[in-house]
Amino acid sequence: MTDQALPAVRTIEAKVHFANPIGSLVRLLVLFTIAGFVIIPLLSTALGALKTKGELRTNPFGLPTQWLWSNYAGVLTTPHVWEMLGNSFSVGIVTVLITLAVAAPAAFAFAHLKFFGEQLLFNYLLLGLTFPFATAILPLFLQIRDLGLLDTHWGIILPQVAFGLASSVLLMRNAFRHVPAELVEAALIDGASYARIFWSIVLPLSLPILSTVAIVTFVNSWNNYLLPLVVLNSASQYTWPLGLMQFQGLYSTDWPQILTYVTVTIMPAIIVFLLAQRYIVAGLTAGAVKA
């Protein structure tokens, strides 16, 4: 009996051990190919920023023969370049602060308070999730103009907050719900106001979700192009993506110079991503999954 069973076991084992190395090899081969597809464009961009145009033609993949750091000098001396970086930064920060200040109390109300029309109002906000930003860009432009916010940073910040609200409130409400209702109840009996409960109990317990919302909001604001394009006119107000397109127009086919600007744009994003990837991935995918 045992003699007959043994070979069967052995073949299964053999199969498993045999299948693994080849499977792993194929897996790695595929992964490295796709990783190449992702990384080669980034790498040739970063390296191309240090080459002459002639060398781009002859040596698109390798290290530059002469490292032309002077392209970076060109970036840093462009008029408005620091202003644009500063604009993008301040627009992003203010968008984050207002988003937190507006979305968190609303999320608290939807998570822990019972009031008339609660579900209706929540669904009303959630409409924003499937609402295409782009369809509204024209009327939004007119609305911003009528409010006198054209060519101001508020004209970007407020709509950005409005369009981010649906997912921010949803993410925060789901997280706030993890604070036990009994805790809120107990605090109420002890005489704490809702504002106090929100500020001293719920918020401190929800710092991870606040960070997630903050980072995602900042990344979206930093990358936003369509809205600033429509709202801003003067170069001194421009955010970085607008500046980037302007530089391209300026240098048209001076690719090393353009690639330098692109590198300056993506490097901070890559560094921030590596530092905060846990929050970024959680925020960008959780917002989607829980919709």
Partner 1 sequence: MAAIAQRLSFSASLRNQRGWKTALIFAAPAILLFTLFIVVPIFNAAGASFYNWNGLRAPTADKFIGFNNFLQLLGNKTFQRALFNTGLLIGASLFIQLPLGLAMAALVGGRRWGSVAFRMIFFLPFILAEIATGLIFHYIFDGDVGIISVVSQWFGGPPIALLADPNLAIIGILVAATWKYFGFHMMLYIAGMQAIDRSLYEAAEIDGANAWERFIYVTVPGIASTIRLSVFFAILGCLQFFDLVVPLTGGGPLNGSHTIVSFLYYFGIGRMRIGFGDAVGVVLFVICVVVAIGYRRWVMRND
Q: Provide the 8-state DSSP code for 201.
A: I
Rounded to whole angstroms, the Cα distance separating 241 from 229 reads 9
Residue of the chain from 156, 159, 176, 203 that contacts partner 1 (CB under 8 A): 159
110 lies in the binding site for partner 1 (CB under 8 A): yes
Neighbours of 95 (CB within 10 A): 25
Nearest 5°: the CA angle 130, 132, 135 is 150
In angstroms, give the least distance from the CB of 143 to partner 1. 5
Rounded to whole angstroms, the Cα distance separating 209 from 206 reads 6
In angstroms, give the least distance from the CB of 180 to partner 1. 15
Contacting partner 1 within 84-103 (CB under 8 A)? 101-103
Q: Which stretch binds partner 1 (CB under 8 A): 3-11, 65-73, 163-171, 201-209?
A: 163-171
Determine the distance from the C-alpha atom of residue 29 to the mean position of all C-alpha atoms in its chain, rounded to a whole number. 30
Rounded to whole angstroms, the Cα distance separating 222 from 212 reads 15
Of the pair 73, 188, the CB lying nearest partner 1 is at 188
Of the pair 178, 196, the CB lying nearest partner 1 is at 196
Of the pair 12, 76, the CB lying nearest partner 1 is at 12
Contacting partner 1 within 168-187 (CB under 8 A)? 169, 185
**Helices vs strands, H then E, count in the chain:** 14, 0
For every residue of 218-260, DSSP letters joined together read: HHHHHH--HHHHHH--SGGG--HHHHHHHHHHHHTT-HHHHHH
Contacting partner 1 within 219-278 (CB under 8 A)? 219, 222-223, 225-226, 229-230, 240-241, 244-245, 248, 253, 255, 258-259, 261-262, 265-266, 269-270, 273-274, 277
Residue of the chain from 10, 25, 41, 233 that contacts partner 1 (CB under 8 A): 41
For every residue of 26-47, DSSP letters joined together read: HHHHHHHHHHHHHHHHHHHHHH
In angstroms, give the least distance from the CB of 84 to partner 1. 12
285 lies in the binding site for partner 1 (CB under 8 A): yes
In angstroms, give the least distance from the CB of 165 to partner 1. 5
**Token code pair at residue 77:** 């001396």
Distance in angstroms between the alpha carbons of the first and the last residue of the chain: 57
What is the x/- site pattern for partner 1, positions 48-67, by CB under 8 A?
A: x----x--xxx-xx------
In angstroms, give the least distance from the CB of 83 to partner 1. 18
**Token code pair at residue 201:** 């109990």
